[in-house]
Amino acid sequence: MRKLNETEWKNIELGKKLFQLEHKENSALDEKKWGQFRLGDLFEVSRPSARNKDDYKVGDIPFVASGAMNNGVMKCCKMKVEEKLDSGNCITVSPVDGSSFYQPMDFLGRGGAGSSILILRDNGLNLFSGEFMARVIQQTCSKYNYGHMGNKDSIKREQIMLPVTDTGKPDYDYMAKYASEMRRRLLMRYRNYVVKKLSQLEHKEIPALDEKKWGHFLMTEVFSEIQRGKRLKNADHVAGVIPYVSSTANNNGVDDYIEASKGTRVFSNCISLANSGSVGTAFFEPFEFVASDHVTSLKQDGFSKFVYLFLITVVKQQGSNFNFNREINDARIKKMQAMLPVTDTGKPDYAYMEQYAKNMMLRKYEQYLTFIDSRED
């Protein structure tokens, strides 16, 4: 059995964006006949064996649970002796929030209590038709939540609308071709974006990290502005366009999009550091955002995006000294020390940090371009 590699997982992540394109590119869907189908009539619905990701060592087999990110993959594990994997070419659905993903390869599914999943199988699926149907299923099942969770029987009863053939059956060929074309367009957009970014960066030879001198610096010596956000209850969120950053480890810390109402604190061009929850998680925030009281902004005027990207790793290393039972507070931040590359005079070498981050970014964009070109073959 071949395992799914990192490039192939990126390919699946790309497919999840298929239905996020503008309506003008989806106009072909309006010209197609559609029919209504019960999921129980289309799919064999099953639940995986009872498993917990914490019982597995790190490996290369995806462990799929009820996560809304990363194709539902919580970690990659080593399978246990004589354990049977769940076969790929299926759709997994979370009864918790309806998150639905096409799984192309064999995996370990989360069963039992908690964040278990349901597995939907149909011989007509392939990568593209599977991605198409997963998006439709998620739209239908997004009504589920912790207060109203789905189950095997309720999922079977759910009805979805699908493109149909002249005989009224699901048109798998159409779905696959449509999704494939949307992927092609999306790849072209990505390619244009990457080429533009590559043109803006220049590689320069600099010493390796282990060839540089390093020094200790207090966070207060690195950042002139260290400020925590303000408490804002979920009930007080007003839908808007400004990112609301909390202590989550996902999505660059963005938990919601709200209006900056009175009493909130708005930050920009800084590092967000989670004080609790996913303690020690840090992100560079290039845009204006509202911070919760579980997040601290670390800012220094004059720092570029690339200096911040370098410093994120340093901040995360310090954050690893804290946990749920030992949260980061204002006093502890002021005592935190960072190891930084230094100049000959012993001061932080921000020019080196910036170029190092640029070189790393340049390498990453080159990898993206290679990946995109391989998908166009």
What's the confidence (pLDDT) of residue 114? 67
C-alpha to C-alpha distances, 200 to 65, 195, 329, 370, nearest whole angstrom = 39, 9, 39, 18
Alpha-carbon span 266 to 255, nearest angstrom = 15
More confident residue, 235 or 310: 310
Average pLDDT along the chain: 88
What's the confidence (pLDDT) of residue 4? 45
What's the confidence (pLDDT) of residue 131? 94
As a whole number, mean pLDDT of residues 68-84 equals 91
More confident residue, 91 or 17: 91
First and final C-alpha spacing in the chain: 24
What's the confidence (pLDDT) of residue 82? 86
- Please give the CATH superfamily to which domain 209-351 belongs: DNA methylase specificity domains (3.90.220.20)
Decide: 192 and 311 in contact? Cβ < 8 Å.
no
* pLDDT, tens digit, 9 for 90 and up, residues 27-48: 578 889 999 999 999 999 999 9
Least confident of 61-75, 238-252, 322-336: 322-336
Q: Does the CA dihedral 155-97-86-127 come out positive or negative?
A: positive
C-alpha to C-alpha distances, 187 to 11, 18, 183, 330, nearest whole angstrom = 10, 10, 6, 44
* pLDDT, tens digit, 9 for 90 and up, residues 1-14: 344 444 444 444 44
Decide: 137 and 97 in contact? Cβ < 8 Å.
no
As a whole number, mean pLDDT of residues 234-257 equals 88
What's the confidence (pLDDT) of residue 296? 92
As a whole number, mean pLDDT of residues 125-134 equals 94
Judging by DSSP bridges, how do beta strands 90-93 and 118-121 pair with one another?
Answer: antiparallel
What's the confidence (pLDDT) of residue 375? 76
Helices in the chain by DSSP H: which ranges? 6-15, 27-30, 39-42, 127-141, 152-157, 172-199, 219-222, 305-319, 330-335, 350-375
Listed residue (140, 142, 65) closest to 99, CA to CA: 142
pTM: 0.74
CATH topology for the 6-183 domain? Adenine-n6-DNA-methyltransferase TaqI; Chain A, domain 2 (3.90.220)
What's the confidence (pLDDT) of residue 15? 44
More confident residue, 329 or 118: 118
Domain residue ranges in the chain: 6-183, 209-351
What's the confidence (pLDDT) of residue 18? 47
As a whole number, mean pLDDT of residues 177-193 equals 92
What's the confidence (pLDDT) of residue 21? 46
pLDDT of 65 > 80? The answer is yes
Q: How confident is the model at residue 113 (pLDDT cuts 50, 70, 90)?
A: confident
pLDDT of 376 > 70? The answer is no
